[in-house]
Amino acid sequence: MTTMSSRNPMTTTTQIKWTLSCLTLLSLVACSGSNNNTNNPPPVKTIADRLDYTNPTSGTYTLVKDTALSTSTHLVLNLMGPVGTQGTGVGFYLTADTTKVTWAKVSGGDAEYVKNGAFTLGSGTQLLKSKITTNQLQGGVFQKGTTAPAVTFTATGPLASVALDLKSNVSLGAVTFSSIAGQAVLTNGSAAPAPIVISYGSLAAN
């Protein structure tokens, strides 16, 4: 008498196919993980996509970052004065490496490259001027006459603001930036502008 096998050939075939499918899937996952970690490392960043500025740690007049108006590529700097001092205007010369950055308007609708902060400019022609020569920005903002009271400098009210934009395809690294000279009209001195020293921080393209 011939004995029939109790195994179902269809069931055995299905199990073999399922096992092979699982092994193939596991192999693909393993290979994929190996390629991502070894053969395809993340690209090394060489071109900057942001401007980083470190505020000065001391100084009487300082240039500090305006965190509310700045973006990753548009840096706004506020000129701050000594708290409690009274004055009616400031002027300054700043330089920056214009192969990497460019002087910009603080806001899109501004007429000048210097934005007034605390001073009362009055109506008509205002004493708010700026001039760019190569890598240098010359700016000034002053009250006219003696009608408007002198401004008392505070820890939160900027005297004036300027801005820098990051250029395209700039390599990573430090960006040359400095304050050449400054002056202020102070009520505790003569009516003529008096020299001041403006402290600045470090600038980098990252």
pLDDT > 90 in the chain, percent: 66
What is the per-residue pLDDT for 111?
Answer: 93
pLDDT at 20: 53
The mean per-residue pLDDT over the stretch 83-104 comes to 96
The two counts, helices (H) then strands (E), for the chain are 1, 15
Among 185, 153, 150, which residue's Cα sits nearest to residue 62? 153
The Cα 62–Cα 56 span in angstroms is 7
Helix (H, G, I), strand (E, B) or coil at 15: helix
Query: In this predicted structure, what is the pLDDT of residue 78?
Result: 98
pLDDT score, position 130: 97
- 29 has a pLDDT exceeding 60: no
Compute the average pLDDT of residues 111-131: 93
Write the single-letter amino acid at 68. Answer: A
Grouping H, G, I as helix, E, B as strand and the rest as coil, residue 118 is coil
Average pLDDT, the chain: 86
Separation CA 129–CA 110 (nearest Å): 11
- Token pair recorded at residue 183: 């002056």
Residue-wise pLDDT for 46-68, tens only, equals: 999 999 999 999 999 999 999 99
For residue 17, pLDDT over 60 is answered with no
> Do residues 87 and 117 touch, judged by C-beta distance below 8 A?
no
Asked whether the predicted pLDDT for residue 33 surpasses 60, the reply is: no
Which residues have a Cβ under 8 Å from the Cβ of 81 and sit 6 or more positions away? 60, 61, 87, 90, 153, 159, 184
Q: H-type helices in the chain, by residue range?
A: 9-34
pLDDT score, position 2? 47
CA-angle at 46, arms to 41 and 49, nearest 5°: 110
Contact between residue 153 and residue 89 where contact means Cβ atoms under 8 Å apart: no
Q: What percent of the chain has pLDDT over 70?
A: 80
What's the pLDDT at 187? 77
State residue 124's pLDDT score. 82
Say which residues have a Cβ less than 8 Å from residue 102's Cβ, sequence separation at least 6. 164, 165, 167
